[in-house]
Amino acid sequence: MKNNRTALLNRYSRGRADGYLFYADSLDERTNNPLQIHAYLDLLSLFQNLGKPVTACRVGTLGLGFLCAGVDGMTSGIASLSSFSESDLLQNRSTGYNMTRKYYIPDLMLTLPVEMAQDIVGDRRNAHLRCQCVHCQGSSSGLDRIAKPHFLRVRTEEVEAINGINGTRDRLAWFIGRVAKAISHCEQIQKQNIVNLSTGYYSHMKAWQQVFGS
């Protein structure tokens, strides 16, 4: 609720902070509730009015939308670090996190299990989805070995692309254009039936269209 966001602003604006790092519980790139995403963006915007840097942490690819909307920064992570959960943080665990190796397919705007990603880009119908970065060089196998440097390289290039666009409107147009293409690619892969890429894998991007395209 707006009153809750205002209460947070009033509480934390009294401190002499150099900036603000936001970790939103159970909100990440797979969140498909447009109202929840919009409320979070509104909260970030309120704090930006204080004139201090604002960073949305562990929001994954959703962070690209936040950057285009004017938020100062974002953080991304691989696997479990692409989201934040207070309950997981407080949980007593005998072992560390189970970091499933994943691979980011830029044209899909999805980070998928390596095996699933290899099945998708390994199909000749999806050769256009193979990454041409210095680490991948169009490869469709052995992606587990290059998943991390590939991700860091591509995400850096995406942020640089946003920084090279002047004006919020043009930045949002760039983001919404990418989202529309990603959804189209996902729908094609779903029809190919190579892997079980259900609508649940990309339904959150339709929420992005509502939030950032309005």
Number of neighbours of residue 31 by Cβ within 10 angstroms: 19
What percent of the chain is predicted at pLDDT more than 70? 88
Whole-number mean pLDDT of the chain?
89
Question: At residue 52, does pLDDT exceed 50?
Answer: yes
* CA distance linking residue 212 with residue 175, whole number of Å: 8
pLDDT in tens, 66-98: 999 999 999 876 644 566 655 555 555 556 555
Q: With 90 as the cut, is the pLDDT of residue 99 above it?
A: no
Q: What is the pTM of this model?
A: 0.88
Q: H or E element: which one contains 105? A: strand 102-105
CB of 120 within 8 A of CB of 195? yes
Average pLDDT over residues 129-157: 95
Helices (H), 124-213: 143-163, 168-192, 203-212
Whether 104 contacts 151, CB under 8 Å: yes
In b/e form, how buried is each residue of 90-103, taking b as 16+ CB within 10 angstroms? eeeeeeeeeeeebb
Tokens found for residue 83: 């989201």
- Looking at residue 28, its pLDDT comes to 84
d(C-alpha 156, C-alpha 177), whole Å: 19
Residue-level pLDDT at 90: 53
* Inter-residue contact 158 to 105 (CB < 8 Å): no
Q: From CA 158, how far away is CA 172, in angstroms rounded?
A: 13
- What would the mean pLDDT of 189-203 be, rounded to a whole number? 95
The residue among 63 and 87 whose pLDDT is bigger is 63
CB neighbours of 213 closer than 8 A, spacing ≥ 6? 172, 176
> Is the per-residue pLDDT at 100 higher than 80?
no
Q: Cβ(138)–Cβ(131) under 8 Å? A: yes
pLDDT at 101: 84
Tokens of 56: 């949305």
Are the C-beta atoms of 84 and 25 separated by less than 8 Å? yes
pLDDT of residue 2: 67
Q: Tokens for 207, please give them.
A: 């929420």
- Name the band, by pLDDT with cuts 50, 70 and 90, for residue 127: very high
For 110-133, what is the mean pLDDT? Answer: 96
Who wins on pLDDT, 158 or 11?
A: 158
